[in-house]
């Protein structure tokens, strides 16, 4: 496809933006004291140089009550000065325009932990995120917060930002005023929708008065709160229409609230799933509308613009994965782009673990100033054993540095376990990890030998200076009576499609990621495909309730047995709840705290705190872990060749570790 619309300029108020790609705000958690540190500057600098049209820097706090010190504060003079210098530099060196997202979390602000003062909200309703009860805002509080937005916007303009964006989505302050769920006020700011909109509209007017008529102001709204009793697309569009009248120049439409149980960010969300929300708003307003969420495939993004549903497309995680995506698409190198797979393992889970945002497919995220691919001082001859994520990442980076790299893969296909990771429902995009690494290896000049296991003898003959052993792992089994029966199969074989006969009553042994995802795979196999369901719905062949049943009910009865008390304990928090929801909707029985004792021809015998019991099983699927495959490393080392062991071959973990290790090792050889 020719990318035409993505590269058309757009004008917002009087701001000229060179193309239609916008990087929406992302909380990075690279600061702890409202400052704008070097680490963050490196992150944004890298993205601006990649060619994105508009970059929304944020979230940024405008006071110490509405947010937390894990983001920069525009009220802080040190941060302001750092912004000023940084924006001067980016305006000098790049064409990217930079907006600021002014942030107020209302009842969800963790600020009480830092200030000792309660958070502010329309009503004193406990936050589900912090567990704290906020203070219902008085009229004075309302004026003060509105003035804070205006002051923040003026300081941002003076610092050199090109635009401000007011956050009015996600269940934060402005949306708390908008929603009848969180706004129980009986004064002029509560009750009917006209009153609930008042706070947000006054914020817009205050910001407009502070920055003047020519300065662009945007707003980020939830296209649908996805909260029962909350705003739908219709109310959201109504608010946007009023926001336009109050002086808004652009509307950035995202999905629902953080508290919603509708997934919005995992790979289960189909690409462009929420563009219809932007379209619903575009119908009601004349100012530019941005669509967002899961638009990282440039073809999808171009199609959204061509369809007229939105005027700009948001790329948040896609620009974490590859800051050069806009440039690559422009230069006809889209195939070389590193594609975000919506795993959330590095970005959202990086926030939850307190490490700050990083990325599974791009280990340089958050380390842009530190990790640089520079030519090797002494080019070496390097062999790589294993074409999984670890081996391929190592190979392309080492080759790019000038080393002579040959990668050996014993199978016909590259990718290692990537095909397994991609098999469960909603995970197909994991295949992009392998595709993209393969393309980068090719571009970097790595010689690839498929169906060619690396052996100690080959190493002796070839005499490389170094061997990178990335031979991965293989599944293990448990030594219980009956584990060798013919109806006992391995999860990897099931996911690879190598088991033709699977019964109706299935017990999966092991409730970590692989076990739970295999269970999901098994109960989804006989359900209609989403496009079939859409077809039946459109033609009125089945009613929505029956369709939901068809989509969620398998003929199979699957039980997952896990020894420890927590299922899917090794799945990151941003994704685990979606997996659990899926399994529960599809009727999978989850038996935590249950130990496998034996397997008979008809049952699985387990032990719980209540004693022994039998679970009928036609097929038993083993998902009890993996062990490293690394005997090659020992043999080569004995022969005196230097070896570096990477990824699962060092210890079975996951792709984020495999890729990070491959990258880091390639920088040091
Ligand atoms: C069902 C499932 C789901 C998963 N889901 C996720 C997930 O959601 N997120 C995540 O981060 N991780 C996930 N993982 C784990 C992840 O896939 C692995 O941690 C990752 O693939 C390890 O990469 P690697 O390169 O070290 O090893 P592998 O991917 O195992 O690759 C090793 C490669 O080496 C080759 N090889 C072995 N011996 C030789 C030899 N002597 N010569 C040449 N080639 C050889 C193998 O054929 C293989 O291609 C999942 C795993 C499974 C099984
Ligand atoms: C780590 C992270 C932090 C985020 N923080 C914010 C935020 O502070 N404000 C906001 O409006 N959106 C935030 N988002 C949402 C993104 O702007 C974007 O809407 C979302 O990631 C979906 O788009 P994508 O599929 O292009 O990533 C965040 C996203 C990520 C990945
Ligand atoms: S960690 Fe996963 S979801 Fe997040 S940006 Fe990277 S690839 Fe995308």
CATH number at residue 546: 3.50.50.60
Ligand 3 binding residues, C-beta < 6 A: 317, 320-321, 340-347, 359-361
Judged by its nearest atom, the ligand closest to the C-alpha of residue 320 is 3
Residue 367 lies in a domain: no
Alpha carbon distance 306, 143 (integer Å): 42
Torsion-angle region of 155 (φ positive above 0: left; ψ -120 to 50: alpha; else: beta): alpha
CA of 396 to the centre of ligand 3 (A): 20
Answer whether residue 20 shows pLDDT above 90.
yes
> DSSP readout, 134-193?
-EEPPHHHHHHHHHHHHHHHHHHHHHT-SEEEEEE-TTSHHHHHH-TTT----STTSSSH
Whether residue 385 contacts residue 457, with contact meaning beta carbons closer than 8 Å, is answered with no
Whether residue 220 contacts residue 171, with contact meaning beta carbons closer than 8 Å, is answered with no
Bridge-based pairing state of the strands 289-291 and 381-385: unpaired
Residue 365 lies in a domain: no
Nearest Cα to Cα of residue 148 among 99, 93, 106? 106
Whether the ω angle into residue 132 lies within 30 degrees of 0, i.e. cis, is no
CA of 348 to the centre of ligand 2 (A): 9
Alpha carbon distance 40, 31 (integer Å): 8
Alpha carbon distance 434, 221 (integer Å): 35
Query: pTM for this one?
Result: 0.96
314-323 mean pLDDT: 98
Q: Using 50, 70 and 90 to split pLDDT, how confident is the model at 664?
A: very high
Query: Which residues does residue 54 pair with via DSSP β-bridges, in sequence order?
Result: 22, 97
Alpha carbon distance 574, 556 (integer Å): 28
Do residues 12 and 161 both lie within one domain? yes
User: Of all protein residues, whose CA lies closest to atom 20 belonging to ligand 1?
Assistant: 655
Do residues 391 and 522 both lie within one domain? no
637: Cβ contacts below 8 Å, ≥ 6 apart: 643
Alpha carbon distance 167, 258 (integer Å): 13
How is residue 401 annotated by DSSP? Answer: T
User: Of all protein residues, whose CA lies closest to atom 19 belonging to ligand 1?
Assistant: 654
Ligand 1 atom at shortest distance from the alpha carbon of 654: 19
Alpha carbon distance 125, 145 (integer Å): 19
Alpha carbon distance 448, 454 (integer Å): 12
CA of 59 to the centre of ligand 2 (A): 10
Domain of residue 121, residue span: 5-352
Per-residue pLDDT tens over the stretch 25-55: 999 999 999 999 999 999 999 999 999 999 9
Alpha helices (H) in 228-288, listed in sequence order:
233-246, 275-282
Whether residue 512 contacts residue 570, with contact meaning beta carbons closer than 8 Å, is answered with yes
Domain boundary pick from 352, 369, 392: 352
Ligand 1 atom at shortest distance from the alpha carbon of 411: 47
Residue 361 lies in a domain: no
> DSSP readout, 300-361?
HHHHHHHHTS-SEEE-SHHHHH-TTHHHHHHTT-GGGS-------TTTHHHHHTTS----SS
Domain boundary pick from 352, 373, 403: 352
460-480 mean pLDDT: 96
Whether residue 121 contacts residue 112, with contact meaning beta carbons closer than 8 Å, is answered with no
546-569 mean pLDDT: 95
Q: Strand 619-622's sheet: what is its strand order?
A: 488-490, 619-622, 505-509, 557-561, 589-591
Q: Is 656 in the pocket of ligand 1 (CB under 6 A)?
A: yes
Q: What is the pLDDT of residue 654?
A: 96
651: Cβ contacts below 8 Å, ≥ 6 apart: 628
User: Of all protein residues, whose CA lies closest to atom 27 belonging to ligand 1?
Assistant: 472
User: Of all protein residues, whose CA lies closest to atom 13 belonging to ligand 1?
Assistant: 654
Query: Which residues does residue 598 pair with via DSSP β-bridges, in sequence order?
Result: 605
Orientation angle between helical segments 530-538 and 544-552, nearest 10 degrees: 170
Q: Using 50, 70 and 90 to split pLDDT, how confident is the model at 464?
A: very high
Q: Is 625 in the pocket of ligand 1 (CB under 6 A)?
A: no
Do residues 83 and 186 both lie within one domain? yes
Q: Is 23 in the pocket of ligand 2 (CB under 6 A)?
A: no
Bridge-based pairing state of the strands 217-222 and 163-168: parallel
Do residues 542 and 431 both lie within one domain? no
How is residue 293 annotated by DSSP? Answer: S
Residue 234 lies in a domain: yes
Q: Is 317 in the pocket of ligand 2 (CB under 6 A)?
A: yes
Judged by its nearest atom, the ligand closest to the C-alpha of residue 292 is 2
Torsion of CA 126, 131, 133, 139, to 10 degrees: -80
The CATH number of residue 456's host domain is 3.40.50.720
Tokens of residue 582, six digits? 């899926």
Neighbouring CB atoms inside 10 A of 476's CB total: 13
Most confident of 387-391, 474-478, 529-533: 387-391
Mean pLDDT over all residues of the chain?
A: 96
Do residues 567 and 542 both lie within one domain? yes
CA of 344 to the centre of ligand 3 (A): 5
Judged by its nearest atom, the ligand closest to the C-alpha of residue 274 is 2
Do residues 194 and 275 both lie within one domain? yes
Do residues 619 and 639 both lie within one domain? no
CA of 472 to the centre of ligand 1 (A): 5
The CATH number of residue 194's host domain is 3.20.20.70
Q: What is the pLDDT of residue 360?
A: 98
Q: What is the pLDDT of residue 23?
A: 98
Give the range among 78-87, 138-147, 308-317, 547-556 with minimum mean pLDDT.
Answer: 547-556
Torsion-angle region of 426 (φ positive above 0: left; ψ -120 to 50: alpha; else: beta): left
Answer whether residue 409 shows pLDDT above 90.
yes
> DSSP readout, 10-74?
EEETTEEESSSEEE--------SSS---HHHHHHHHHHHHTT-SEEEEEEEESSSSSS-TTS-BT
Residue 111 lies in a domain: yes
Torsion of CA 104, 110, 115, 116, to 10 degrees: 130
Helix (H) or strand (E) segment spanning residue 655: helix 655-668
Q: At 399, phi and psi to the nearest 5?
A: -65, -40
Per-residue pLDDT tens over the stretch 320-372: 999 999 999 999 999 899 999 999 999 999 998 888 999 999 999 999 999 99
Neighbouring CB atoms inside 10 A of 281's CB total: 28
Alpha carbon distance 349, 353 (integer Å): 6
Do residues 56 and 188 both lie within one domain? yes
Domain boundary pick from 333, 352, 371: 352
Query: Which residues does residue 73 pair with via DSSP β-bridges, in sequence order?
Result: 61
User: Of all protein residues, whose CA lies closest to atom 8 belonging to ligand 3?
Assistant: 340
Q: What is the pLDDT of residue 75?
A: 97
Q: What is the pLDDT of residue 354?
A: 82
Q: What is the pLDDT of residue 17?
A: 98
Helix (H) or strand (E) segment spanning residue 93: helix 77-93
Do residues 275 and 415 both lie within one domain? no
Answer whether residue 315 shows pLDDT above 90.
yes
Bridge-based pairing state of the strands 611-616 and 603-608: antiparallel
Q: Using 50, 70 and 90 to split pLDDT, how confident is the model at 530?
A: confident
Nearest Cα to Cα of residue 179 among 236, 255, 130? 236
Hey, which of 362, 391, 417, 649 would you mutate to test ligand 1's pocket, going by the most ligand atoms within 8 Å of its Cβ?
417
Q: At 566, phi and psi to the nearest 5?
A: -115, 125
Alpha carbon distance 612, 412 (integer Å): 45
Neighbouring CB atoms inside 10 A of 32's CB total: 12
Per-residue pLDDT tens over the stretch 71-94: 999 999 999 999 999 999 999 999
285-305 mean pLDDT: 97
Do residues 387 and 489 both lie within one domain? no
202-220 mean pLDDT: 98
Residue 420 lies in a domain: yes
Torsion-angle region of 270 (φ positive above 0: left; ψ -120 to 50: alpha; else: beta): beta
Alpha carbon distance 651, 472 (integer Å): 8
As a whole-number percent, the residues of the chain with pLDDT over 90 amount to 97
Do residues 402 and 436 both lie within one domain? yes
> DSSP readout, 200-250?
HHHHHHHHHHHH-TTS-EEEEEES---STTS--HHHHHHHHHHHHHHT--E
Per-residue pLDDT tens over the stretch 511-526: 999 999 999 999 999 9
Nearest Cα to Cα of residue 3 among 333, 309, 271? 333
Ligand 1 atom at shortest distance from the alpha carbon of 415: 49
Whether residue 450 contacts residue 411, with contact meaning beta carbons closer than 8 Å, is answered with yes
Residue 364 lies in a domain: no
Do residues 202 and 296 both lie within one domain? yes
Helix (H) or strand (E) segment spanning residue 555: none
Tokens of residue 435, six digits? 């595709």
Residue 369 lies in a domain: no
User: Of all protein residues, whose CA lies closest to atom 4 belonging to ligand 2?
Assistant: 26
Ligand 3 atom at shortest distance from the alpha carbon of 339: 7
Q: Write the burial class of residue 599 (CB in 10 Å: 0-12 exposed, 13-18 middle, 19+ buried).
A: buried
Q: What is the pLDDT of residue 355?
A: 86
The number of folded domains in the chain is 3
């Amino acid at each position: 496809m020719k990318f035409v619309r993505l590269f058309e300029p757009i004008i917002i108020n009087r701001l000229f933006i060179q193309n239609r790609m916008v990087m929406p705000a992302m909380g990075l958690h690279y600061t702890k004291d409202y400052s704008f540190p070097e680490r963050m500057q490196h992150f944004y600098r890298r993205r601006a140089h990649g060619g994105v049209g508009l970059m929304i820097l944020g979230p940024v706090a405008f006071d110490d009550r509405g947010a937390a010190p894990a983001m920069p504060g525009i009220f802080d003079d040190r941060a302001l000065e750092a912004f000023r210098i940084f924006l001067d530099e980016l305006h000098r060196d790049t064409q990217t325009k930079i907006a600021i997202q002014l942030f107020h979390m209302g009842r969800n602000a963790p600020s009480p932990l830092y200030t000792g003062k309660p958070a502010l909200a329309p009503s004193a309703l406990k936050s589900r995120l912090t567990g704290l009860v906020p203070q219902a805002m008085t009229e004075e509080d309302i004026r003060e917060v509105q003035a804070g937005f205006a002051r923040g916007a003026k300081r941002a303009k003076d610092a050199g930002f090109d635009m401000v964006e007011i956050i009015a989505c996600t269940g934060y302050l402005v949306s708390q005023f908008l929603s009848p769920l969180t706004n129980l006020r009986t004064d002029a700011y509560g009750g009917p929708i006209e009153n609930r909109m008042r706070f947000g509209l006054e914020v817009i007017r205050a910001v407009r008065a502070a920055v003047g008529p020519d300065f662009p102001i945007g707003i980020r709204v939830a296209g649908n709160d996805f909260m029962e009793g909350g705003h739908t697309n219709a109310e959201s569009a109504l608010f946007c229409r009023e926001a336009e009248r109050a002086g808004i120049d652009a509307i950035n439409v995202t999905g629902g609230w953080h508290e919603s149980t509708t997934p919005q960010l995992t790979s289960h969300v189909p690409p462009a799933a929420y563009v219809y929300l932007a379209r619903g708003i575009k119908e009601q307003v004349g100012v530019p509308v941005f669509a967002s969420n899961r638009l990282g495939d440039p073809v999808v993004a171009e199609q959204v613009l061509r369809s007229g549903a939105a005027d700009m497309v948001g790329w948040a995680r896609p620009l974490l994965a590859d800051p050069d995506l806009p440039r690559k698409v422009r230069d006809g190198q889209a195939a070389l782009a590193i594609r975000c797979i919506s795993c959330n393992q590095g970005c959202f889970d990086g926030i939850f673990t307190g490490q700050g945002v990083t990325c599974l497919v791009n280990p340089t995220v958050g380390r842009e100033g530190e990790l640089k691919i520079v030519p090797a001082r002494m080019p070496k001859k390097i062999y790589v054993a294993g074409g999984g994520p670890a081996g391929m990442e190592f190979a392309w980076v080492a080759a790019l540095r000038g080393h002579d790299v040959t990668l050996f893969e014993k199978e016909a296909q590259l990718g290692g376990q990537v095909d397994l990771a991609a098999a469960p429902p909603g995970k197909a995009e994991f295949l992009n990890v392998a595709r993209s690494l393969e393309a980068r290896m090719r571009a970097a000049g790595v010689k690839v030998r498929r169906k060619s296991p690396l052996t100690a003898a080959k190493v002796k003959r070839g005499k490389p200076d170094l061997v990178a052993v990335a031979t991965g792992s293989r599944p293990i089994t448990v030594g219980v009576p009956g584990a060798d029966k013919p109806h006992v199969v391995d999860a990897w074989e099931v996911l690879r499609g190598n088991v033709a006969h699977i019964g109706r009553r299935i017990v999966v042994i092991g409730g970590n990621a692989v076990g739970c995802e295999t269970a999901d795979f098994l109960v989804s196999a006989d359900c209609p495909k989403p496009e079939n369901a859409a077809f039946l719905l459109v033609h009125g062949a089945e009613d929505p309730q029956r369709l939901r049943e068809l989509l969620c009910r398998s003929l199979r009865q699957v039980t997952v047995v896990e020894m420890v008390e927590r299922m899917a304990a090794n799945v990151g928090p941003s994704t685990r709840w979606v997996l659990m929801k899926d399994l529960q909707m599809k009727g999978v029985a989850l038996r935590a705290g249950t130990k496998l004792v034996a397997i008979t021809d008809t049952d699985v015998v387990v032990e719980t705190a209540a004693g022994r019991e039998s679970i009928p099983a036609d097929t038993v699927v083993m998902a009890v872990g993996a062990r490293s495959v690394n005997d090659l490393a020992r043999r080569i080392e004995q022969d005196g060749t230097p070896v570096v062991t990477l990824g699962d071959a060092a210890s079975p973990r996951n792709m984020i570790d495999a890729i990070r290790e491959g990258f880091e090792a390639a920088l040091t050889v």
